[in-house]
Structure 1
Amino acid sequence: MSQQNAIQTIKLQRERFLAFSFAMADLLIEVEQDGRIGFIAGACRRFFGEDDASLMGQALVDRIAGTSRPLVGQLLRQLDAGRRIPPIEIAIDRVGSGPEKALLCGYALPGHPVKYMTIGAPERFRALLSQNEDRDAESGLHSAESFAERARELIESADDTTGELTMTFMELEGLERLERSVAPQAYKDLISEVAAFLRLQSVGGDSAGRLDQGRFGVITGSGVDASRLASGLAEAVPQARQLTVSTHSQQLHAAGLSPDKASRALIHTLRRFQSEGLSDAVRADPGSQFRDLLQETLKGIEHFQEVIERDRIALAYQPIVSLDDGRLHHYEVLARLHDGASPYEWVTLGESIGMIAAFDLTICRKALADLSDRSAPADLRLAVNLSAQSLQDEVFLDAVEVLLEQYANLRPRLSFEVTESAEIKDFRAVDAAIQRLRGLGCQVGLDDFGAGSASFQYLQAFTIDFVKIDGAYVRAMTDSRRDQALVKGMAAICSDLGVSLIAEMIETDEQVELLKRIGVKFGQGYRFGKPQIGRPTPPPAPAAAATAGAPASRGPSPEALAALRARRRRGASDTWM
């Protein structure tokens, strides 16, 4: 190759790399070993208010706005060869105006002392940023929930080429005390620098989260020694030496489980770890608590599978009646586990680990078997609970359709109650699933209406046949005009939509009369019969029920009312019970 051709090839390569760089950035910066700008090209005036010549030789951190300066400084100091800085939103100190928002990325090449940075306009990447909105406001790290989701993504995307992933919990004891004793900006700077350290240690530069004020989590790859994170933090962030730093590491795999099940087990454990907090007994070693919770979850998964595979589930039946004359309308099917465990806790575990569809399908099979029994009354009708998560599972829907094909004559006598225990993410898909079940001849309704924050949103999004009012409203309404008004409003909405309304947890004659005046047609509760395991039997007549052990009280106590309203704020928890 001639010298001229060699020069042309080098120029072409340079132009190619510049084109690649500017495809994702507006500004390219080389930062020398001493932190000064050695090369800069691109939209300098847009971000800094100056041209490239005037910026050469300036310290980059001096041109970063004060709020972002500790973070950027720490990132530059810790950016080792082969590591990268993921997209981070910062503020630049622009001449002649206020701080200018920008998106910073960076990389360090092995064998090169300079750091390669890119800056882009955030609006160009707004869609990318919006996917990561669930962040801790102070640190910019993942929140507890999105950190768990990030762990799931990493586990499920792992393959034979992926190194061992390790999750480390880091407890910074004394952080609250430090916040009270130093200037607000000094505290913010410390959090920014801790966040920068964790980001750079994490897989992909964005696998760290803040789980609580003084508790952090970070997922590292095989190239990071998780046991040295505490000492590494003390070296990188001198202010952290005022704190007592403890860590516990856990490999992200679970023997015998698929990646999906393993990730779900981990997420379930993380959520419990976050919600329960540290007990005094394990505060010195938070990892022991997480380890115990994980083992408990793994045992729970094994037991859950065993319950389904060995059919250790019994069905209990509770009547739903017409409030006008007390006649039986249908029964709700409720799960009972042979070992006496709480069905709700099992359902929550099943949803967290992605196994609730198998549980729901088992209940459907058993309910249809009871309906088809020769000794069952010809007019017997049953309602089965379905997790919203199951309705978002195509395999489950296909299995239910096959099952219903086997019992074609029983479809009009089987209905489904969709619960709010699992979050609904795709409203269109769930409504399509509901219409698929309705198209097969089964009615579908919403359970515990009013207990969750999205109840009215569900009513707007789904075409359904009936709604069940959460029992907290019913039990409180005899002593609360406010709750009466709410139930009356629900009844009016359902009437206008042509949707039947069922009230649950009815215990007294006074409640029955109030509900009838409001316009509620159907009811369920101890007033008409408790759930009974075994063959369903018709409830006693209303007058007899009043003397057969139904509570005579006029309503719950003030303490009970407070508990009911707290339960309503948390969401329904009596499903399947």
Structure 2
Amino acid sequence: MSDLGSNGALRDDLSICAVMAVGDVVYRWTIGDDRLDWGSQAGLLFGIADLPSIANHRDFVARIVMDGPSRYERICLARESEPGQGVPYELEYQFRDDFGGLRWIEDRGRWYRGADGSPDYAVGIMRAIDERHHREAQLVKLSTYDELTGLLNRVRLKEALGEALVAAQRGRQNAAFLLFAVDNLALINDAFGFDVADEVIVCVGERLSRMARRGDSLGRYAGNKFGLVLNNCGEERLNDVCARLLAEVRDEVVVTTRGPVAVTVSAGSIALPGHASSVDQALARAEEALVSAKQKLRNSHAIYTPSRERDKTRLRNINVADELITALNDRRIRIAYQPIVDAHSGVPAMHECLVRMERPDGTIVPAGHFVPVAEKLGLIGLLDYRVMELAVETLCDRADVNLSLNISGRTIGDRLWRDTLASHLHADTSLAERLTIEITETVAIHEIEELTDFVAGFRDLGCQIAIDDFGAGYTSFRNLKTLDVDLVKIDGSFVIDLVNNPDNQFFVRTLVDLAHNFNLPTVAEWVSNAEEVAMLRDFGVEYLQGFYLGEPILSLPARLASSGVISSKGLRAAPA
């Protein structure tokens, strides 16, 4: 076999050596004779032992796999003018080797015209590109499929949902979108480890995939969530479809490397196109339905249904959030001070800081109007930070004032809030002696480890710590002892109608006795009349708080009361 004679495109040995060094093979194709002359190492490139078996173009193309026009057509039927420097071409195709495999080949070169102007010969270089094709295939796979489960990834799932939505909007067929979430995956992580949780996710994906029909699209939407696009599925079938899918996951344990795990999923679904006009809207409403399902028991399903009341609530939340952000920016968040009085003397022992919002017209908005929205939308941290700033300002301005500052559970882990308050207390140690930080009991139950560190840090600085809403969450004896708090505030729901409600009387007595066992003074909230004052005092409650004893006020009096008067309504304290 010739090694490219004097008519070859590469005429010097140095060029040939350079090409061979990088694994390329040069060739010359004499088109009229259908003859192929190969450079050295062609047998290695193609994986064939008998190089003469591809000495002509006809035999060579019998081994290649190429979609569309033939190699000859792609190279020689180009109509570009050939000014004497050749017409370039570049192809990619697969070549069948002697072992039954397919090798990707990159084929680049130029053809040159003969005397009649038609293609006479071509000179080119072939290169093995299997590794490049593998990398490209991997990139395509990663851009399309989830690495863990092999299902569609989030991007491709959204594209499939968009395609189904467009088809449904054009009236070709109904469709639906189902969003599944593995129940309690965090517990599986904690009990078995993240690798077992991954096994569970893979298995759930396989089971859902078994139930999907041809033409449906299943993908991993997020960490523990799967999305399923159902074509040709009306809303009336969704309950039955979801019940079968949930059963497919639930009815057989998942066998993992560390033992069997019982797994369930919950699902939210939406019918298309009736309840969504865009992909994002469909996803949001499926998420909403999923949240509704998870608020029931595990292994539950909910179908999205429009609700005018819910839409009104959302619009109100948006408006309130906008109003709150504007008030924060304009410094229109205020503190209302409500006294906590000594049950025997009636003298205010401290004042609780209650947040208020001032509107541009000067009207004051109570906390119930915006705090729940702030908690839902994640704005409560900004609110707590501003209230803390205002409380510190008051403590600095009024050396005769003791304040109680109520914070949300989210603020417990807010490093900026903690560091900022700590810096103020380090700068003036007298502030800490007059500050009590209130933590709700539900936070104490769920965040005990982080809360223990929080309590210890601020007690070391000199602050007192109070458990708020005591009794609402049934704090264990161990937690109450572990936290080492200074004060217990009995949840106001037990004080309502205390005089006429024997159950509430029993609860209050029990909670007071529990607190006293730990040598903790108690505060009763929501006190509303003189009879409750007398009864709570008899139960041993040390401090009282409620509108009857003093309504929240936006500015403290110049001199705080020091008489035995419990409230401005004239009720006198009984002798100690």
TM-score, normalised by the number of residues in structure 2: 0.50
Give the helix-richer structure, 1 or 2: 1
Task: Pick the structure with greater CA Rg.
Answer: 2
Q: RCO greater where, 1 or 2, for CA within 8 Å and sep 6 or more?
A: 1
TM-score, normalised by the number of residues in structure 1: 0.50
